[in-house]
Amino acid sequence: MARIVQKYGGTSVGSVEKIENVADRVTRAAEAGSELIVVVSAMGKSTDQLVGLANDITEHPSKREMDMLLSTGEQVTISLLTMALLKRGVEAVSYTGGQAGILTEATHGNARIKEIDSERLTNQLEAGKVLVVAGFQGVTEDGSITTLGRGGSDTTAVALAAAVGADRCEIYTDVTGVFTTDPRYVKKARKLQAVSYDEMLEMANLGAGVLHPRAVEFAKNYEVPLMVASSMVEETGTMIEEEVTVEKNLIVRGIAFENDVTKVTVAGLPNRMDTLPKLFSILSSNGVNVDIIIQNQYDEDHVNISFSITQCSLKETVACLEQAKNELEFEHLYHEEDLAKVSIVGSGMISNPGVAATMFEALAKNEIFIKMVSTSEIKVSAVVSEDDMVMAVEVLHDAFKLDEVHEEQAAQLV
Ligand code: ADP
Ligand code: ASP
Ligand code: MG
């Protein structure tokens, strides 16, 4: 008997009608004889609404109370879906994250799962129950409710799949799979048959919101076969797996992008061994997360250091650097807001020189100015103006012919 974890995201459970649709789908899977855990998100935009309520009360809500508040969104869905299943004669039972045995670290707002005590779940599965579990939440050792970071229900699903030894984890959402890029922005985006764990992890980390990065990390570490498909349309989705056998030779498999990038430049720093460690330890001790870093020596004694951060950490960054101006001995501090990062991702890049050149040429030809660059074995990222973001993605989608099905795959599809 197959043991399956299914996850339905916010849009897929956004109304009573949609919850009834999910209940129909779960009922069919249960009647087909599968053992099922169903993980659900909060209905529609209700997490955003809860955040709004907290912000109406205070600008700086307590992180513990914020988790207490946000976790209620998913609890609404588990109870309603379970009622809909019971109405259909399916023996279902709902659990919060804590009741499902999900133990997390005590970092409120972005907790990592430490351990899952799956005994209750496996007993109930073996007793023939369909288990409906609240996504995005867990509890700390001392019983406080935590949340796993926005989009974290995917992680709940994959982590549970690993814990109960499920045969696969199916993520049902409002698109029919993982596309070459976000289909909401780029019309030519094409659904991929398969993506490797590593490629998907890069894409998710670089802004492709279709999967929570930690969900992909879990899937890779515990070798959970992962699928992304539509909760509305009956259509084969995308498999995320260790090694992709279709379109094997694709150099670039997808393009991810994110806005809200800010570039900060600390100019006129002393060209000394201790400059970099001092600068970045000040930033890290103030909780500033830095992404791309560029160092540039412009005379014998001085360097400029630029780095990128998210827009929301700008205030903190400027404040802590201004405060440390004498210690760091820099001359000027300036920043550029409203930037975006566009990244091409594909494991075929490792063995193909010239990928970055193609990317830069294509952007230059379309007069898109690149402000920063970073690379890894399987990605190249370029920081551009936010106004150019979507055009940059379209240009790169064309340059790497991502809308075309690779011949190998065409042969397989026949
Ligand atoms: P859910 O509420 O089901 O978790 P999300 O909104 O978190 O859904 O994720 C689905 C969304 O991810 C899609 O609507 C799409 O806009 C976005 N997305 C970003 N990149 C991609 C991609 N490469 N392929 C598919 N969808 C993507
Ligand atoms: N409800 C949470 C959010 O909106 C978690 C999720 O949907 O995955 O971020
Ligand atoms: Mg999501």
In contact, 253 and 199? CB cutoff 8 Å: yes
Asked whether residue 215 is domain-assigned, the answer is: no
Do 26 and 169 lie in one domain? The reply is yes
Q: Binding site membership: which residues?
A: 7-10, 47, 74, 173-174, 184
Do 263 and 148 lie in one domain? The reply is no
Which ligand 2 atom minimizes the distance to the CA of 73?
1
Taking only the tens place, the pLDDT of each residue in 170-188 is 999 999 999 999 999 999 9
- Whose atoms come closest to the Cα of 152: which ligand? 2
Q: Is 44 in the pocket of ligand 2 (CB under 6 A)?
A: no
Q: Is 346 in the pocket of ligand 2 (CB under 6 A)?
A: no
Going by pLDDT thresholds of 50, 70 and 90, the confidence category of residue 408 is low
Do 167 and 18 lie in one domain? The reply is yes
Do 157 and 259 lie in one domain? The reply is no
pTM score: 0.94
The pocket of ion ligand 3, defined by CB under 5 A, consists of 9, 151
Angle at 82 between CA 77 and CA 85, to 5 degrees: 130
Question: Averaged over 96-108, what is the pLDDT?
Answer: 97
Asked whether residue 375 is domain-assigned, the answer is: yes
Which ligand 1 atom minimizes the distance to the CA of 10?
2
Domain boundary among 174, 199, 234: 174
Taking only the tens place, the pLDDT of each residue in 266-316 is 999 999 999 999 999 999 999 999 999 999 999 999 999 999 999 999 999
Asked whether residue 191 is domain-assigned, the answer is: no
Q: Where are the alpha helices (DSSP H) in 88-228?
A: 119-126, 153-163, 197-205, 213-221
From 136, 146, 212, mutation site for ligand 2 pocket: most ligand atoms within 8 A of C-beta: 136
Neighbours of 247 (CB within 10 A): 20
- CA atoms of 263 and 134, how far apart (whole Å): 38
Which ligand 1 atom minimizes the distance to the CA of 12?
3
Do 163 and 261 lie in one domain? The reply is no
Asked whether residue 188 is domain-assigned, the answer is: no
Asked whether residue 204 is domain-assigned, the answer is: no
Three-state secondary-structure class, residue 149: coil
Q: Which residue's alpha carbon is at the smallest distance from atom 21 of ligand 1?
A: 182
Q: Is 73 in the pocket of ligand 1 (CB under 6 A)?
A: no
Sequence-ordered list of residues with C-beta below 8 angstroms from that of 38, at least 6 positions apart, any chain: 5, 6, 7, 8, 22, 26, 81, 130, 131, 132, 133
- CATH number for 41: 3.40.1160.10
Do 168 and 261 lie in one domain? The reply is no
Do 127 and 16 lie in one domain? The reply is yes
Asked whether residue 120 is domain-assigned, the answer is: yes
Q: Tokens representing 159?
A: 């982590």
> What are the helix and strand counts (H, E) for the chain?
13, 18
Q: Tokens representing 16?
A: 């009573």
What is the domain extent for residue 113? 3-174
Asked whether residue 183 is domain-assigned, the answer is: no
- CATH number for 384: 3.30.2130.10
Task: Give residue for tokens 């190249």.
Answer: 380
Window from 13-17, 101-105, 395-399, 401-405 with minimum mean pLDDT: 401-405
Share of the chain above pLDDT 90, in %: 93
Asked whether residue 278 is domain-assigned, the answer is: yes
- Whose atoms come closest to the Cα of 155: which ligand? 2
Q: Tokens representing 53?
A: 């309520």
The per-residue DSSP string of 248-268 comes to: TT-S--EEEEEEEEEEEEEEE
State how many domains the chain has.
2
From 47, 210, 390, mutation site for ligand 1 pocket: most ligand atoms within 8 A of C-beta: 210
The span from the first CA to the last CA of the chain, in angstroms, equals: 31
Which ligand 2 atom minimizes the distance to the CA of 9?
7
Taking only the tens place, the pLDDT of each residue in 197-233 is 999 999 999 999 999 999 999 999 999 999 999 999 9
- CA atoms of 359 and 339, how far apart (whole Å): 18
Which ligand 1 atom minimizes the distance to the CA of 231?
3
Three-state secondary-structure class, residue 14: coil
Q: Is 184 in the pocket of ligand 1 (CB under 6 A)?
A: yes
Domain boundary among 130, 151, 174: 174
Do 149 and 38 lie in one domain? The reply is yes
Q: Which residue's alpha carbon is at the smallest distance from atom 6 of ligand 2?
A: 151
Going by pLDDT thresholds of 50, 70 and 90, the confidence category of residue 414 is very low
Q: Is 42 in the pocket of ligand 2 (CB under 6 A)?
A: yes
Instruction: Give bridge partners of residue 310 from the DSSP assignment.
Output: 261
Do 17 and 159 lie in one domain? The reply is yes
Domain boundary among 128, 158, 174: 174
Taking only the tens place, the pLDDT of each residue in 34-65 is 999 999 999 999 999 999 999 999 999 999 99
pLDDT > 90? residue 321: yes
Three-state secondary-structure class, residue 328: helix
User: Ligand 2 centroid to 190 CA: how many Å?
Assistant: 25
Angle at 316 between CA 144 and CA 49, to 5 degrees: 50
